């Protein structure tokens, strides 16, 4: 089996987000060059296979400000299929997620296009330790010397460069990255007038972390949620589970988040929050295009239903195999 087929199989079996995401045309930009300078122990053939398997994760999007006034905003520096965020401050910048293992330079170039120096990144934060969100962090840390803040639940996977529960699959490896500050829950920090708060919302990964902050737009303060994930995808829920306690963790997250109603709902995969349509509204001149008080509640309610369906399917399959 070739690398492409092996990786495509991994996507459907492991399901980093929702199996292979649907490609959405978001806008034109220059193509992303192959990054051969920093592979950080990740096989070049494997990286080429990922590019072929999920092209939307590599399809470029011109960086832009999602919300906020100039010099105090939240900027999109991701691709069509992977969301990465840049938050500039006067005391060093903040970056949330690094994309795939060969995308650290893509994020850095996007920051330069916005008129900032990526070497001034002071803090890296992460949603969760899967290679499509943590893969570029090591390169960004190497470039800037930034401190990485991440959950203790995901520390071993980040520092070990593996996918928890699938450690034997090298196709899912990410460049190991040092965690400078770890937390278990309810963590917060401030940098240059920006206050970020973390809440561990486990299930999709053991340390899956959702981040919140307030941002001003037109003189009013608004709450922004960067939600980690709650998809089952192809996480093993039983027989054996991806990690011990995963089912309880998902249910804990659904109970915790059912009443959340942020002004702006963002996440690490653009399709989760209707990126394409909202981006088009922003380009058409609507500065509040990404607002939506009910967006997250509808999303998380659907995720809770999907989880129970996924658990039932896995249980029936497991019982059928065990009874043979």
Q: Per residue in 258-268, pLDDT tens?
A: 999 999 999 99
Higher pLDDT: 275 or 11? It is 275
Contact between residue 69 and residue 214 where contact means Cβ atoms under 8 Å apart:
no
Contact between residue 85 and residue 73 where contact means Cβ atoms under 8 Å apart:
no
Edge-to-edge order in the sheet of strand 187-191? 187-191, 194-200, 209-217, 220-227, 264-267
Q: Please tell me the distance from the alpha carbon of residue 171 to that of residue 8, in angstroms, as a whole number.
A: 10
pLDDT at 40 over 70: no
Which pLDDT score, from 0 to 100, does residue 16 have? 53
- For the chain, the first-to-last Cα distance in angstroms comes to 29
pLDDT at 308 over 50: yes
Contact between residue 128 and residue 206 where contact means Cβ atoms under 8 Å apart:
no
Q: How confident is the model at residue 41 (pLDDT cuts 50, 70, 90)?
A: low
Q: Is residue 20 part of a domain?
A: no
Element (H, E) at 208: none
Which pLDDT score, from 0 to 100, does residue 113 have? 98
Look up the CATH number of the domain holding residue 176.
3.60.15.10
Q: Is residue 278 part of a domain?
A: yes
pTM over 0.85: yes
Average pLDDT over residues 189-197: 96
Q: Is residue 176 part of a domain?
A: yes
Q: Is residue 33 part of a domain?
A: no
> What 3-state class would DSSP assign to 278?
helix
Which range among 117-126, 143-152, 172-181, 215-224 shows the weakest confidence by mean pLDDT?
Answer: 215-224
Q: Is residue 107 part of a domain?
A: yes
Q: Could you please report the per-residue DSSP string of 111-151?
A: HHHTT--GGGEEEEE-S-SSHHHHTTHHHHHHHH-PEEEEE
Q: How confident is the model at residue 27 (pLDDT cuts 50, 70, 90)?
A: very low
Q: Is residue 177 part of a domain?
A: yes
Which pLDDT score, from 0 to 100, does residue 314 have? 95
Higher pLDDT: 20 or 165? It is 165
Residues in CB range of 159: below 8 A, 6 or more apart: 176, 177, 178, 179
Q: Is residue 245 part of a domain?
A: yes
Phi/psi of residue 319, nearest 5 degrees: -65, -35
pLDDT at 203 over 50: yes
Q: What is the residue range of 194's domain?
A: 63-323
Q: Is residue 153 part of a domain?
A: yes
**CA trace torsion 310, 315, 316, 317 (10° rounding):** 90
Q: How confident is the model at residue 318 (pLDDT cuts 50, 70, 90)?
A: confident
Q: How many domains does the chain have?
A: 1
Contact between residue 219 and residue 118 where contact means Cβ atoms under 8 Å apart:
no
């Amino acid at each position: 089996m070739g690398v492409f087929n092996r990786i495509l199989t991994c996507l459907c079996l492991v399901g980093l987000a929702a199996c292979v995401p649907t490609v959405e045309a978001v806008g034109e930009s220059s193509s992303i060059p192959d990054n051969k300078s920093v592979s950080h122990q990740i096989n070049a053939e494997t990286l080429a296979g990922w590019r072929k398997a999920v092209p939307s994760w590599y399809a470029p999007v011109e960086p832009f400000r999602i919300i906020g006034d100039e010099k105090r905003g939240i900027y999109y520096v991701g691709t069509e299929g992977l969301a990465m965020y840049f938050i500039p401050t006067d005391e060093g910048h903040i970056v949330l997620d690094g994309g795939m293992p060969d995308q650290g330079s893509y994020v850095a170039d996007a920051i330069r296009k916005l008129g900032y120096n990526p070497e001034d990144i002071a803090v890296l934060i992460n949603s969760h330790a899967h290679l499509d969100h943590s893969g570029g962090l090591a390169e960004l840390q190497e470039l800037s010397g930034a401190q990485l803040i991440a959950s203790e639940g995901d520390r071993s996977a980040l520092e070990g460069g593996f996918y928890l529960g699938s450690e034997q699959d090298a196709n899912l490896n990410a460049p190991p990255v040092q965690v400078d500050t770890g937390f278990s829950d309810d963590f917060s920090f401030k940098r240059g007038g920006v206050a970020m708060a973390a809440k561990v919302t486990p299930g999709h990964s053991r340390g899956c972390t959702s981040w919140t902050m307030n941002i001003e737009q037109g003189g009013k303060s608004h709450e922004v949620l960067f939600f980690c994930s709650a998809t089952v995808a192809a996480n093993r829920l039983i027989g054996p589970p991806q990690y011990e306690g995963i089912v309880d963790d998902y249910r804990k997250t659904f109970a915790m988040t059912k009443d959340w109603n942020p002004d702006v709902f963002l996440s690490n995969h653009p399709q989760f929050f209707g990126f394409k349509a909202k981006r088009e509204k922003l380009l058409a001149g609507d500065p509040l295009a990404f607002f939506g008080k009910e967006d997250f509640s509808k999303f998380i309610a659907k995720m809770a239903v999907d989880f129970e369906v996924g658990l039932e399917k896995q249980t029936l399959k497991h019982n059928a195999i065990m009874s043979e």
